[in-house]
Chains A and B, each alone.
Chain A
């Protein structure tokens, strides 16, 4: 086998093209992703507000109170407590219109019962209510022209979803992007409210919330994520294997061309 020698011209061209493409891809993404994805993916089973038989319940809700940042709304990240979170909301600094007298804001995400059925397809997983209010409880609206990023996770393995928003009467589909994992969905929304993942076509074994039910208070008991750690022998084995690879590399190798 003939080893590929240094080819600086090809190298510089590929590197420059790659960096330009990297910048473009990052620019067009609705949410920030790490450039490579070789971490270990540990995704907890989906937790339902009303679990079907054999499925986990205790979907978590979250509420964060934040002080203003020099008189404007601070940069905001809020996510439920599953791993990865089943619902997240992310906003830039100065994203919300603040009524006079506002000193802090409270961001909350809660799973709720669906306020209405969907007409096409079905809702996969929980409906989440996204709210941002000031300390007096007044709901805040986004500054015109700004958006808030909503990220929803569908039940494990549901990869054909679209985010929908409840407009008070019906559900509207919103532009949906991948959120970094096959079952994570992201959208840059212009308003808060109730959001869910809609699936059409192939069915997955989970409950279908097609019956309209009255709104109810969210599940009040957050449950910490339960990833579970690998056993010590696994760690020891991996360290030994890495050392072995390094030793083989060192002993077998010739100098780079």
Chain B
């Protein structure tokens, strides 16, 4: 299939078909990222940034358009991020394994993390939630976006992350429905990701 045909499918008037194409695109991007990542910092940064851009492209192709966030959404996102970091800290074991989440330099890590978070949020909590909501309602939208969020991490991080990412995906979808936009989940997601540098 050509890129033009793929883009046309993403713009399908059928929300179910659009959701299917968005999920397929997400799966392909996640697999490609894991394949490119390698064991060096440069390839990992390139894979991460390519993944972020691919998701942005998919979301825009799927009809999502940016909106200016309300200040209240940013505050809700901030509180959501504190919960995403705080709940596992309080509920989880004190023991912690190192998983190499601090690749230098910090600025490059920060930029790629922002890019990946934006890509994931506009695709999952933007385009995908809208498509599934139109096709099957909010319960299905929360479930599908959360499952997609958990599964897309598997190629790079393994199956062990699925329970916690499934739960985090539901939280982020909740923030999306609470505020009506992707700014709140994006802020919460970004805060939780940035916290991993210091935790």
Contact = CB atoms under 8 A, between A and B. Distances in A.
Interface residues of A, number: 88
Contacts of B53: 241
B35 to A, nearest CB: 12
A184 to B, nearest CB: 6
A35 interface: yes
B63 A1 contact: yes
Nearest to A148: B95
Interface stretch (B1-9, B19-27, B100-108): B100-108
B157 A36 contact: no
Interface residues of B, number: 99
A21 B100 contact: no
A41 B160 CA distance: 15
Name the prevailing secondary structure of the B interface residues: helix
Contacts of B139: 10
A15 B125 CA distance: 13
Nearest to A248: B66
Nearest to B130: A4
Q: Which are the 9 A-B pairs with shortest beta-carbon distances? A: A178-B160, A15-B174, A18-B170, A11-B178, A14-B174, A11-B177, A18-B171, A182-B158, A21-B167
Nearest to A44: B39
Given A4-B133, A19-B83, A26 B165 contact: no
16 contacts: A4-B133, A8-B178, A18-B169, A22-B88, A23-B87, A24-B91, A31-B97, A32-B93, A34-B195, A35-B87, A36-B168, A39-B113, A159-B158, A178-B158, A181-B158, A229-B41
B40 A12 contact: no
B49 A238 contact: yes
Interface in B62-88: 63-70, 73, 80, 83-85, 87-88
Given A35-B85, A37-B161, A182-B157, A6 B103 contact: no
